[in-house]
Structure 1
């Protein structure tokens, strides 16, 4: 924890409004808290520090390594299948990319913060949501009935474009007719692709992705970037290009001139779930992001969690054996885990260092490990709401037409009240896609708290100017150096991922990385699949 003064933004911000000079000179004492999930444990493993002898041996039927959505889905499914004998080793951060935090009674996300309505193919997601009470009726019908508390209510999203807020994320006001025509043509193409099937009879884009069409004609999309696809199809609109680049940075942490066209289009064309009590395209969200879903699966499964991180995992005659450790006041304590089966619900950049014999399983780390995008999430506790510019009112998701920020989410949006709450939390997301992943990670660990705050608050200062600082009471910043796998061209042909997906043995894999990109639907799919294999 680092104590610093939070200085109102420098004159370079371009603020010239009356009173901004006085605000500029005002300091507000706060305590920015910096979180680096997994950094200490990762560096300990990377530097190969010696561990003390194991202090205990834990035995179970199935050991789950990792407590993110993949691991929690595996625990949930094992319980549904009647297997009650399993233990979970948390990993460096409970709930992984689904983790959240809180300022007193106010929850906020530090990772994923929403879930689109699942389409009919996502049976596993609908089953989870029904079990947790999020879907209340007809879970496998065309239009399930959802708990109203979790359906995102209006106003959903807005964009700050040319100094004015407007509804929606793609610019429309003041955009030339030719560009608007391209917008319309693109979304018409999305609608067409949603219904298109390949020569094998499968839809081109579905969740889980392993059920998508393998038609070679459509697989060609994985050989080019989304930007190349746009250019080849005659899309020249700068606002459309900005929007799709924003979406790739938001979904995958990488720019649209880096992301596979297949992955870039998949996000739009695969999600078309409906609800009996909501409009098409509605999202599910919680103040704490996806942590309430992860916690719900934890409670439903009855899983017992054990703190720690796995160092080595190997096969034995009896099943598997894992050496784990946890840091206590900076010092390691180790223990052994023995089980009949192991479910590796950890990112592959970790698994490649942990699983003994992973090359013999068909996975070559240097060839097959994805590129990982770094992320930063900053949560601002506000003692009051800042004054808004006119036009579109404060929404759940608020985006500024600039880079590298991704806008900010209002954690109290779902609190349906006659008047706004006294306090709120604005969660600002930044994908460091303006740097290479390696240079971004280096910057994350060397940047000062002031530099981190400056980047985290860039969209907020554009939206609110000098007044914003006087609203801030606390700031928590979470830095994820390897937040998500980036689906670069060729990711669908990754032979190592395919090999790990097909394994059926004492060591099983369950992480969204197996699909090549990080989303709830994929992590949950691999968790459920691993549980089914482990329960045999």
Structure 2
């Protein structure tokens, strides 16, 4: 379906049902609120517009430049180490990709919305979850005990395939036996790879990725795409290929014929954390996505946050000086931050622009900047739950067998089993992986709110038809033009990222980009590492 013609879908046939007319009229009445986090600040920096002189100078021991998960975990670790003289510059959006929003009392995500149970190697994540009270006891046991409020309740996931909902994300109903046999073979291979160790004795796929095996036999997977690996292994099932493509788009914002085979397999093989009070492979989730987790870190660390975006980071004889600005009614206001050390908790393409002479640290922007996947996240405030098709009940995560949408999650899912609330929020995710990142960003900027709503609604319309629009009160759309680094073949050997990992001096680097893809576990690892160095 042409996304630009979505608003006329109800009138596409000669005989239009009354419900379709009502749905079409309802869509005409909805004007979504559209957010472009960082767009104005980014364009201001790109165009190198002049800033007024700094209105104030802030002095601190450690400056944390960025308030996403890497910045928040850096603050949390500094506080744990007893260092309290630090401040944080938010960046264009507080909490970055972990940000969320709310419609009154109902929270919703505008970025990441879940966290897998951490495996044994992810002790840094277990440290955080135990300190925040999410793990209640036995944090380093094989199966810690979690606060059940945040463990994902069943039903967890379903797929709309051939007009019917089915449990799980990989098609099974009406699928030929030979395809089902390939499904079984693939997941048996995943189970084996989860426990496989390289010649250095390390597991080949773990979080954090720096603890994964360096065995060249397995690192060679980074020279091909996941699709190529599947073809080499003889997997021909269209439904298996669709499923693995969906997973790459969901986790990395890029198709499986672009994603590194190492990264594509890591998606499955690294996630096998267990809990004493949940089934294997369970997830942690919050109505507001990862923002409550980020806010918990902020509260624990007693963070002093300052609104603003960094323009330049320079070393001086006494440490580091960061020039920052914020836009007030469209006009820039600048201020200066002076610190002994600075943690650059920002994406690498931003760091390459603002860190003075970043080449001295071994980073070449033209050579080393990752390719960034754009995302669209739309939150629909519903005045009631839409009528469901029979067979499989509404789940937390609901996916439609099509592209480029990634389905929708239900923010109030944890309440459904007890007493369904009168209102709810459905959060629809779209990875614009059906086009190049550059063309996707251009489309985002050029599209009208109605066109954005059309794309955001495609999966929901496929699921509910004309019955969905009358349930909608408000729509909030967030566009992230550079949402996440895509782990394309060769990402493991990115020279610049490898160089920045080892930097130890007045300027330090902390971001999931150092690992090559955007997940909580990696961002937290680099935030904690930078904090440990900054505290020295």
What is the TM-score normalised by the length of structure 2?
Answer: 0.97
**Aligned partner of residue 149 in structure 2, secondary structure:** helix
State the 1:208 CA deviation: 0.5
Q: Is the 8 A contact 2:90 2:307 kept in 1?
A: yes
1:191 match: 191
Cα distance 1:14–1:472, how it changes in 2: closer, same or farther (>3 A)?
farther
Asked if residue 301 in structure 1 is aligned to residue 301 in structure 2, the reply is: yes
1:399 match: 399
1:215 match: 215
Q: Is the 8 A contact 1:8 1:27 kept in 2?
A: no
Flag structure 2 segments of 5+ consecutive residues without an equivalent: 1-5
Q: Is the 8 A contact 1:65 1:88 kept in 2?
A: yes
State the 1:195 CA deviation: 0.4
Q: Is the 8 A contact 2:7 2:454 kept in 1?
A: no
Cα distance 1:418–1:334, how it changes in 2: closer, same or farther (>3 A)?
same
State the 1:31 CA deviation: 3.7
1:355 match: 355
Which shifted more, 325-334 or 415-424? 415-424
State the 1:192 CA deviation: 0.4
Cα distance 1:457–1:23, how it changes in 2: closer, same or farther (>3 A)?
closer
Counterpart-to-counterpart distance in 2, 1:281 and 1:12: 43
**Aligned partner of residue 457 in structure 1, secondary structure:** helix
Q: Is the 8 A contact 2:372 2:483 kept in 1?
A: yes
Query: 1:260-316 CA deviation, whole Å, 9 max, x = no partner?
Result: 000000010011110000000100000000000000000000010001001000111
**Aligned partner of residue 415 in structure 1, secondary structure:** helix
2:436 match: 436
Q: Is the 8 A contact 1:8 1:466 kept in 2?
A: no
Counterpart-to-counterpart distance in 1, 2:74 and 2:292: 17
1:123 match: 123
Cα distance 1:180–1:533, how it changes in 2: closer, same or farther (>3 A)?
same
2:343 match: 343
Cα distance 1:321–1:25, how it changes in 2: closer, same or farther (>3 A)?
closer
**Aligned partner of residue 150 in structure 1, secondary structure:** coil
State the 1:418 CA deviation: 3.3
1:389 match: 389
Cα distance 1:364–1:101, how it changes in 2: closer, same or farther (>3 A)?
same
Q: Is the 8 A contact 1:155 1:394 kept in 2?
A: yes
State the 1:12 CA deviation: 4.4
Asked if residue 44 in structure 1 is aligned to residue 44 in structure 2, the reply is: yes
Counterpart-to-counterpart distance in 1, 2:416 and 2:20: 34
Cα distance 1:316–1:25, how it changes in 2: closer, same or farther (>3 A)?
closer
Query: 1:172-201 CA deviation, whole Å, 9 max, x = no partner?
Result: 000000000000000000000000000011
**Aligned partner of residue 376 in structure 1, secondary structure:** strand
State the 1:15 CA deviation: 9.7
Counterparts of 1:306-321 in structure 2, within 5 Å, are: 306-321=306-321
**Aligned partner of residue 414 in structure 1, secondary structure:** helix
Asked if residue 482 in structure 1 is aligned to residue 482 in structure 2, the reply is: yes
Aligned residue pairs total: 531
State the 1:27 CA deviation: 5.6
Q: Is the 8 A contact 1:145 1:276 kept in 2?
A: yes
1:85 match: 85
Asked if residue 112 in structure 1 is aligned to residue 112 in structure 2, the reply is: yes
Cα distance 1:463–1:13, how it changes in 2: closer, same or farther (>3 A)?
farther
State the 1:123 CA deviation: 0.4
Q: Which runs of 4+ in 1 moved over 6 A?
A: 13-16
Q: Is the 8 A contact 2:7 2:27 kept in 1?
A: yes
What is the TM-score normalised by the length of structure 1?
Answer: 0.97
State the 1:415 CA deviation: 1.9
Cα distance 1:391–1:246, how it changes in 2: closer, same or farther (>3 A)?
same
1:3 match: none
Q: Is the 8 A contact 1:70 1:345 kept in 2?
A: yes
Counterpart-to-counterpart distance in 1, 2:235 and 2:285: 32
Q: Is the 8 A contact 1:28 1:470 kept in 2?
A: no
Counterpart-to-counterpart distance in 2, 1:203 and 1:511: 23
1:154 match: 154
**Aligned partner of residue 513 in structure 2, secondary structure:** helix
Counterpart-to-counterpart distance in 1, 2:356 and 2:398: 45
Asked if residue 248 in structure 1 is aligned to residue 251 in structure 2, the reply is: no
Counterpart-to-counterpart distance in 1, 2:533 and 2:14: 59
**Aligned partner of residue 169 in structure 1, secondary structure:** coil
State the 1:25 CA deviation: 4.4
Counterpart-to-counterpart distance in 2, 1:258 and 1:116: 24
State the 1:416 CA deviation: 5.1
Which shifted more, 502-511 or 18-27? 18-27
Q: Is the 8 A contact 2:10 2:23 kept in 1?
A: no
**Aligned partner of residue 76 in structure 2, secondary structure:** helix
State the 1:419 CA deviation: 3.0
Cα distance 1:195–1:32, how it changes in 2: closer, same or farther (>3 A)?
same
**Aligned partner of residue 478 in structure 2, secondary structure:** strand
Counterpart-to-counterpart distance in 1, 2:225 and 2:361: 30
Q: Is the 8 A contact 1:8 1:23 kept in 2?
A: no
